[in-house]
Structure 1
């Protein structure tokens, strides 16, 4: 596993990852129309051109398997997305470790749906603790879900 800067060609893989129903359910995230490439491109253009965002591609054995980023605002927040093909292989864990070594500003927060046990486990093993909860509407689930607000000090 390696982290590297995002290349324009990575966006095709990120778009394909966004089409994975199981990943959308676990993230509780989904664009209103996840197949709308123009909306996806606009979203990623905003991320890549925002000086307050540090974003990396997660690569494994030459394949783009996901992305990891932090929105470096008043309270920095980490987000990551890994293709379902690579779940359970330790790749996300390695990516989070490498990213946390690169991005050292603390405290750092994360929002994770309560039933996303894989992501919660990754974050807890890195020292994140649940400091609260929030209710959000999930387009992917078409319902309100509860997210753990987690923090690394």
Structure 2
């Protein structure tokens, strides 16, 4: 399978909306925002993200098909990675390959990532890319309507 990153295109946004509104994906991601539930907020969020020159934002392609997106954001010393892979593409190594390519685009270290403690796959992806668990905390997960344990990972 050919996995690559490319600059985001307007036509990618409907795919991202479909992915972010998938209830099963929300349960796995657990930390959701208003833009996961409301198309107006979604459009505002993406306009803001796309206009921020400090954000590295890429569309993830798997064999030429939009599989999700990945980004690096935040100020120096607090740079964080995030990625979303649509459920139809889970379990094929796409997230790991995309994250590995993404972190190669960012020279600033450390980089940070968070994952739900009960989501072994979302913890394993950054670990395969060299991140190590550096802490834990609790947060409210809107998708689950409960407090959950969150794992913090860092790439030094």
Q: Indicate whether the TM-score tops 0.5.
A: yes
> Residue 152 and residue 14 in structure 1: after superposition, are their counterparts in 2 closer, same or farther (change >3 A)?
same
The question of 1:111 aligning with 2:114 is answered: yes
**Alpha-carbon distance in structure 2 between the residues aligned to 1:26 and 1:151:** 20
Q: Is the 8 A contact 1:32 1:139 kept in 2?
A: no
**1:128 — aligned with what?**
131
**1:62 — aligned with what?**
64
**Alpha-carbon distance in structure 1 between the residues aligned to 2:50 and 2:35:** 21
* 1:9 match: secondary structure: helix
The one of 139, 146, 153 equivalent to 1:150 is 153
Q: Is the 8 A contact 2:112 2:153 kept in 1?
A: yes
**Alpha-carbon distance in structure 2 between the residues aligned to 1:143 and 1:105:** 34
- Structure 1 residue runs without a partner (length 5+): none
Length, aligned pairs only: 153
**2:22 — aligned with what?**
20
- Mean alpha-carbon deviation: is it higher for 138-147 or for 24-33? 24-33
Q: Is the 8 A contact 2:35 2:42 kept in 1?
A: no
The question of 1:2 aligning with 2:35 is answered: no
TM-score, structure 2 normalization: 0.92
* 1:140 match: secondary structure: coil
- Structure 2 residue runs without a partner (length 5+): none
TM-score, structure 1 normalization: 0.94
* 1:50 match: secondary structure: coil
The question of 1:95 aligning with 2:104 is answered: no
User: After TM superposition, which residue ranges in structure 1, 4 or more long, deviate above 4 angstroms?
Assistant: none
What's the RMSD between the two structures over aligned residues? Answer: 1.4
